[in-house]
Structure 1
Amino acid sequence: MFKLNSFIKLCVAVILVLGIIYLGSRVNFIFKPLLSTITIVTVPLMLSVFFYYLLLPLVNKMERKKINRTLAILIIYLVISVILAGFIIGVWPSLRVQLINLLNNAPDLITSLSEKLAELERSGFLADFLPKDVSPLTQLTNYLNKGFTFLTGYVTGLVSVVSNIAIVLFIFPISLFYMLKEKGSLRDKLISFTPKRFHNDAAEVISEIDRSLSGFIVGRLLINLALGVLMFLGFLLIGLPYALLLTIVAVIMNFIPFIGALLSSVPILIIGFLESPATALWALVIIFLSQQIQDNLIAPYVFGKQLDIHPLTTIVLVLVGGDLAGIIGILLIIPLYMIIKIIVSKVYILFFKQRWEQM
């Protein structure tokens, strides 16, 4: 009888939730401004959380050195400002020239690519690698159309989010400052939501989440910067055009596990192929060697055993995150998985482990 009553209560709760969702969908005009506000705030909040876990170890270390926490944050802000100024003065002019040249030359590059593929098709070189009745030009057109559709959709979404850059620049540094400054009070508020007998366990969970996310974000940044240095030096060595621009794109895209490395390789290989087939081949070798050095030498040293996620699990998570929320979902799915894994492990130890092991 008790089990039946519990089941009925659960069913009623599910029905009520579904009813609320349905009613909410019927009054979309009420929630649309709220969703629009959330969309605008998403980017600065993501940046705040990213830099929070990136800078948290440094702020904590400076505080242990008897430096006032607020002063430590202001010193870090000053250093970041100097680094940004150095980037704007030293790197941005060259990067801007490469970007403008690439945009201006894009039509000519596409035409040149089509001509080179047509030449290969006439020579019969591609016949051994492609199925019969398959034209590389047709395939190229299809892939380019799909690629442009894909990029247009995401760029349109990102532009709508980042269009008001003033909001991003205003919210991001202020929210980051208070997140770093009020770290202790935020922790206490989260712990206060749990029953008193679980306060110590909640504190352990929060500390473990902080360590895991901070280690993941700092480690990811370090290995991506190392990858960028390796690729940039290699591209300079082979004389690849737009080397700096392509390297920065590859570093940014590499924050997306697996998929990012593949997507960033496509423009590199196209630009290399337009220069010469040998350049494309050497570019592929540099990408492969850089990725191998990153995955087998740098990443294990930086992460150790902190990122205990199987590669197959990572692929599934990336696919699910992309299906649910696009680029934002892909970027957030791994950290969310890490948080959920820590919480579920603690809940299992507290409530189920002893009972299940005695069965």
Structure 2
Amino acid sequence: MAIIFIGKMYFIHKFIRIIFRAFLVPLIISVFFYYIMKPLNNIFLKNGLKPSISAVLTLTISVFMLSVVFYFLGEHMILQINGIMGNKAYINGTINEISKYININDIYKTYISTVNNYIKDMIQNLSRSVNYVTDTFSKILLILVTIFFLFKDGENFKDGFVKLFPKKHRQVLHKILSESDEILSQYVIGQSKVALSLATMIFIGYKIINMPNALLLSSITFILAFIPFIGFFVSMIVPWIIAFSMGLNMIIKLGITFLVVQTLKGRIVVPAIMGHTMKIHPLTDIFLVIGAVAMGGPIAAFTVVPFYAILKVIFINTYEYKSKEKLTN
């Protein structure tokens, strides 16, 4: 019986992982970009356009702008990566520094073994590549379609969901959904502004101290800064390794840059942009994010704070509703 139960548990875990990768992650990405694009869509709606037309225009303009940004940034990043690959002294210095903490020989052996296996399984790997490209394309298409319908029928979804419940509960449900929508909007747009501000500040700092590949490293900061609190620290791992390979002078300059940017982030950027919108104590945020990273990785770390804030909204509104119901009875 125990073996059967364990077997079933494995099947359940595998099923959850498949659902998470196939649907939940694209849904989270869709919601994220929905709130990023929402201000533009609201402009079109205020000018009298139909929801379907405003949704198409918003997606078209947003995709075009993202394509332009990725095109120019990608071009510069490729140049910087090629510069790294062409600088043998820089590579050797970095490898020597990394080898103090990681066994490079083991990595090399693993790499050779992987290459040999790849050559042996060329056809199988080609099939996997095709499947990967197809899967990626289908997920991008799913994200675009989801965003379109969120813009087109977002209000209808909310009204339709509320109507599923008895009339006496509809008012509190509508309030919960409205407040949750506001929280998600504030969080996504706020984190985007924080990430962009951090990436800009650290890019300027890298340029001042002559850190190599400033654009590439600041882009990593921008991506990881979407994870509250720990994202910025994680993004500094690679710059610190590079600084150690370049000597004491660069270590000191990077340390000063890090302290300045971290101070500006804590004292000015985050309070000015985020304020007290989430109404969560910073210590609670830290524990939430660390726990989410351990349990579910970066996606969980990004979603745990708004998810917790929404749970608070549900609990507070439900408690107030129950209290009023008791008083009236």
Q: TM-score with structure 2 length normalisation?
A: 0.80
Larger radius of gyration, structure 1 or 2? 1
For 2:51 and 2:262, how far apart are their aligned partners in 1?
Answer: 38
Cα distance change on mapping 1:186 and 1:248 into 2, 3 Å: same
For 1:33 and 1:105, how far apart are their aligned partners in 2?
Answer: 45
Query: Which residue of structure 2 aligns with residue 99 of structure 1?
Result: 81
For 1:254 and 1:78, how far apart are their aligned partners in 2?
Answer: 27
Superposed structure 1 runs of 4+ greater than 4 Å apart: 22-25, 27-35, 105-111, 113-117, 353-356
Residue 55 of structure 1 pairs with residue 37 of structure 2: yes
- Asked if the contact 2:59/2:148 (under 8 Å) is kept, the reply is no
For 1:78 and 1:115, how far apart are their aligned partners in 2?
Answer: 47
Cα distance change on mapping 1:268 and 1:295 into 2, 3 Å: same
The count of residues paired between Structure 1 and Structure 2 equals: 303
For 1:92 and 1:253, how far apart are their aligned partners in 2?
Answer: 18
Query: Which residue of structure 2 aligns with residue 336 of structure 1?
Result: 307
Query: Which residue of structure 1 aligns with residue 286 of structure 2?
Result: 315
2:55 to 73, 77, 92: 73
Cα distance change on mapping 1:105 and 1:36 into 2, 3 Å: farther
- Asked if the contact 1:216/1:307 (under 8 Å) is kept, the reply is yes
Q: Give the Å deviation of 1:24.
A: 9.2
- Asked if the contact 2:37/2:62 (under 8 Å) is kept, the reply is no
- Asked if the contact 1:227/1:251 (under 8 Å) is kept, the reply is yes
> What is the Cα-based RMSD across aligned positions, in Å?
3.4
- Counting only pairs closer than 5 Å after superposition, residues 153-172 of structure 1 correspond to structure 2 as 164-172=135-143
Query: Which residue of structure 2 aligns with residue 234 of structure 1?
Result: 205
- Asked if the contact 2:224/2:235 (under 8 Å) is kept, the reply is yes
2:102 to 137, 141, 155: 141
Cα distance change on mapping 1:330 and 1:291 into 2, 3 Å: same
For 1:25 and 1:343, how far apart are their aligned partners in 2?
Answer: 36
Q: Give the Å deviation of 1:326.
A: 2.2
For 1:106 and 1:341, how far apart are their aligned partners in 2?
Answer: 52
Instruction: Tell which deviates more after alignment, 275-284 or 243-252.
Output: 275-284
1:303 to 274, 295, 298: 274
Residue 260 of structure 1 pairs with residue 231 of structure 2: yes
Residue 274 of structure 1 pairs with residue 245 of structure 2: yes
> Which residue identity is paired with 2:63?
S
Q: Give the Å deviation of 1:344.
A: 0.4
Query: Which residue of structure 1 aligns with residue 221 of structure 2?
Result: 250
For 2:173 and 2:190, how far apart are their aligned partners in 1?
Answer: 25
Q: TM-score with structure 1 length normalisation?
A: 0.74
Cα distance change on mapping 1:112 and 1:355 into 2, 3 Å: same
Runs of 5+ consecutive residues of structure 2 not aligned to the other structure: 107-128
For 2:63 and 2:89, how far apart are their aligned partners in 1?
Answer: 39
